[in-house]
Amino acid sequence: MSSGFIVVFALLVFVIVTIAKGVRIVPQGMEWIVERLGKYHGTLKPGLNIVIPYLDKVAYQLVTKDIILDVQEQEVITRDNAVILTNAIAFIKVTDPVKAVYGITDFSEAIRNLIMTTLRSIVGEMELDAALSSRDKIKARLRESIADEAVDWGLTVKSVEIQDIKPSQSMQKAMEMQAAAERERKAVVIRAEGAKQAAILEAEARLESAKRDANSQVMLAEASAEAIRRITAAIGDQTGPMSYMLGEKYISALERMGEKDNAKVVVLPADLQEAVRGLFGRAAGR
């Protein structure tokens, strides 16, 4: 093989390599940063691009589509000294590739750390109950807080979502014990309230029974008084009818006492003879 052929072949290879280095095809959804002699020269957009071989170098290849950043779980202390676990996910987009590569060493790690730090600050200002029930509020404040920093790094924060926010295991146990104690307290209150209502109803029942007994006694007393008035009006000043009535009462009482199976002693009134005499005297008078 002659030396001329080798030279021509070497030149051909050099030309092919030079053309290959000078032609750059950038995929859709990406932008490439070109440096010339170590200094930023330009940004290659998607499609066919021409650079100067051996002088220009593609230093960075950036994705301009939305980037998903997963923020790891971390412990956060609330204002009332409760420990909760929280993590998040961020959606960002590179809007200025030059700032993204020259403004910060690693914008993805910077955004993660910024979100973690800001999240600790926001939750640290809130009580436990408010932190657990205010995801939307935390998300809005978080996005607002990191937006300005992201712009300086050539980024746009599309959204920040709180994936999970929950008490730590020790706090969960404490909350469960607190909830159990609260349920027991409510049960005791309900039982006490029931006993109170029962006592009130029982007292009202006794009061109503006493009122009815009193009314019955009053009615019986009024009936007895009316009977006495009528008897008095019918008898007048005569003692015979009264003695006759008392004698009948005595005899009826003695008959009832004698009918009882366990009656062994019969007590006779001292004035029985006078009552009987009055009874028979009244009968003879008839």
CATH architecture of the domain formed by 67-167: 2-Layer Sandwich (3.30)
User: Per-residue pLDDT averaged across 177-203, rounded?
Assistant: 82
Phi, psi (degrees; rounded to nearest 5) at 168: -70, 170
At residue 286, the pLDDT reads 45
Q: Which pairs from 246-253 meet CB under 8 Å and 24+ separation?
A: 246/275, 246/278, 247/275, 247/276, 247/278, 247/279, 247/282, 248/279, 250/275, 250/276, 251/276, 251/279
User: Per-residue pLDDT averaged across 74-101, rounded?
Assistant: 89
What band does 145 get if pLDDT is binned at 50, 70 and 90?
A: confident
Quickly count helices (H) and strands (E) in the chain.
8, 8
Cβ neighbours around 92 below 10 Å, total? 22
How far apart are alpha carbons 88 and 164 in whole angstroms? 7
Domain ranges of the chain: 15-63, 67-167, 169-232, 237-260+267-286
User: Per-residue pLDDT averaged across 13-20, rounded?
Assistant: 82
* 262-280: pLDDT as tens digits: 655 555 555 555 555 554 5
User: Per-residue pLDDT averaged across 192-198, rounded?
Assistant: 86
Kindly provide the b/e burial profile for residues 193-214, where b requires at least 16 CB atoms within 10 angstroms of the residue's own CB.
eeeeeeeeeeeeeeeeeeeeee
0.75 cut: is pTM over it?
no
At residue 35, the pLDDT reads 92
